[in-house]
């Protein structure tokens, strides 16, 4: 009789340990990658492929950028947002594009050097790409389809929630320190 009790107690202990282990694994498991992020782009600095799934569960501000535009000083504000809210889960993703006014004529190294040396950009930047029209890269095409519209000029912004869904889009005229954009970022960061 005592042997059966200890055997049952052993099974219960094993089940409790297994359940605790599963709970801990669920807490540390990375979030599932939403369809919007199931894409890969080359990193601007070294052409190393980067899977956007690494940003699953983060709030993303996706921006098409250019080095020779009247809006180029927005790099400074974007970097400030990234520095201020990065620890809370915000990631700014920059995509240089020559689509508008041919204001991004440089090659990857030139663009990377300009962004870092002029504005101290540390947020992730990707290779120069097309962001509008039929040849738009898959991320920008999906953001447009999700209701964000297509960029009309450089420094158009898309805010994507932790769930990988578009929250809103913002014109080039919307500065990174705009109270409306900052409020939307804070609200998105507050979501689990």
Question: Annotated active-site positions, please?
Answer: 69
The pLDDT, as a whole number, for residue 133 is 94
∠ Cα 42 151 176 (to 5°): 85
Provide the pairing of β-strand 90-96 with 59-65: parallel
The pLDDT, as a whole number, for residue 192 is 87
The pLDDT, as a whole number, for residue 7 is 52
Q: How many residues does the chain have?
A: 192
The pLDDT, as a whole number, for residue 72 is 97
Could you give the 3-state DSSP secondary structure of residue 70? coil
Provide the pairing of β-strand 166-170 with 49-51: unpaired
Backbone angles phi, psi at 126, to 5 degrees: -120, 170
The pLDDT, as a whole number, for residue 4 is 55
Angle of helix 108-119 versus helix 74-85 axis, rounded to 10: 70
Q: What is the pLDDT along the chain (192 residues), one digit of tens a residue?
A: 555 555 545 544 444 444 444 444 445 555 699 999 999 999 999 999 999 999 999 999 999 999 999 999 999 999 999 999 999 999 999 999 999 999 999 999 999 999 999 999 999 999 999 999 999 999 999 999 999 999 999 999 999 999 999 999 999 999 999 999 999 999 999 998
CA 58 to each of CA 61, 107, 181: distance values in angstroms, whole numbers, following the listed order: 10, 29, 16
Q: What is the CATH number of domain 35-190?
A: 3.40.30.10
């Amino acid at each position: 009789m005592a042997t059966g009790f200890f055997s049952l107690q052993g099974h219960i202990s094993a089940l409790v340990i297994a359940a605790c282990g599963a709970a801990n694994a669920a807490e540390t498991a990375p979030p599932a990658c939403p369809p919007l992020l199931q894409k890969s782009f080359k990193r601007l600095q070294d052409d190393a492929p980067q899977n956007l799934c690494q940003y699953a569960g983060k709030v993303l501000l996706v921006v098409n950028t250019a080095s020779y535009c009247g809006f180029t000083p927005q790099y400074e504000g974007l970097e400030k947002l990234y520095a201020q809210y990065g620890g809370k889960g915000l990631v700014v993703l920059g995509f240089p594009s020559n689509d508008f006014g041919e204001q991004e004529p440089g090659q990857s190294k030139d663009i990377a050097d300009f962004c870092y040396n002029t504005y101290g950009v540390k947020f992730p930047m990707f290779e120069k790409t097309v962001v509008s029209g039929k040849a738009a890269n898959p991320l920008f095409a999906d953001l447009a389809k999700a209701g964000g519209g297509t960029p009309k000029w450089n420094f158009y912004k898309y805010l994507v929630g932790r769930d990988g869904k578009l929250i809103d889009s913002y014109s080039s005229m919307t500065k990174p320190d705009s109270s409306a954009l900052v409020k939307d970022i804070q609200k998105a960061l507050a979501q689990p």
